[in-house]
Amino acid sequence: MESPQQFYATDGPMTAPGTQASQFTGTPGELGALCDLAQGVLIHVDIAPWLYEVKFSEERQSDRHVRSLTEMLARIHALDGNPLTVARKPADRLAGCCRHFSVMLSGLLRAKGVPARARVGFGAYFNQGKFEDHWVAEYWNSAESRWVLVDAQMDAIQRKTFQLDFDPLDVPRNRFIIAGDAWQMCLSGRADPAAFGLSMVPHLHGLWFIAGNVVRDLASLNKAELLPWDAWGLMPPSDAEFSEETKGVIDKIAALTLAGDEAFPEIRALYQDDRLRVPPQVFNVLRNVLEPVA
């Protein structure tokens, strides 16, 4: 079997630039510059009105549902025909979410042969005492022989607004909580499940929410980086419908996603379980409809 570094240095269906590969021509090689690039073509649809004074139409807001990097790049080019290296005005950027920044950075790094992947979990730096649903990227730093978390969404405006006390190019593991870690923290009594989710939406928090992100993180580790609101298989819809059998499976996934590179063969094998593997169709919770993944 190939090593984790070999596996994550190549694209999956969601991060392949595909027919838009020519847009990667001339992109920078330095990590910070790649994050700047992502920030110049993407904007968080929910943060845009608050921090950037941009209100998108319903049609533009629907861009958040674009899954693949190929589609993202095509839409970015349709909105503004300049090269990716030219930063757009906020109103001319693709309206996505944290996941789109993470997929974009992962795709850019993989195109340069750098092992990278998107990680699913919770940010502890948005709302004091809360752990907000969030995605970041993670790349292999060969010089230091370690995986490094990167929040490509955190531009200068957001760094100031959220008063970041760390470098978003090397996010501490206690500031971004990988979903499996959140699961273990809550089961051990070290954290309250009610603090994990989307604090602005009363019912979107708890163990069931964390479990969904554990499954999404497993899928992402298998290069199937779906939308944060895509649901499938084993994901429980509420704490009330959370069986002990499901909790046991989530326990196993959580442990593997935290275990390090030695767990890579098991991560690949476990993903073959039909309850965990991304199917041809997933349920888009925001749209309340089944949609094809491709």
Q: Give first-to-last CA distance, the chain, whole Å.
A: 27
Q: For residue 202, what pLDDT is reported?
A: 82
Q: What is the pLDDT of residues 17-74, one digit of tens each?
A: 999 999 999 999 999 999 999 999 999 999 999 999 999 999 999 999 999 999 999 9
> Which of 268, 272, 278, 294 lies closest to 232 in space, CA to CA?
278
Per-residue tokens: 278: 């991304």
Based on the structure, what is the number of domains in the chain?
A: 1
Q: Which residues contact 31 (CB under 8 A, 6 or more apart)?
A: 109, 139, 150, 169
- Three-class secondary structure of residue 74 per DSSP: helix
Q: What angle do CA 57, 63, 69 make, to 5 degrees?
A: 155
Q: Residue ranges of the chain with pLDDT lower than 70? A: none
pTM exceeds 0.75 for this model? yes
Q: What angle do CA 292, 136, 41 make, to 5 degrees?
A: 75
Q: Which residues contact 10 (CB under 8 A, 6 or more apart)?
A: 110
Residue 125 and residue 285: Cα distance in Å, rounded?
26
Residues in the chain: 294
Per-residue tokens: 132: 């907000």
Secondary structure element (H or E) that encloses residue 268, with its range: helix 264-270
Domain containing 86: what range?
A: 4-292
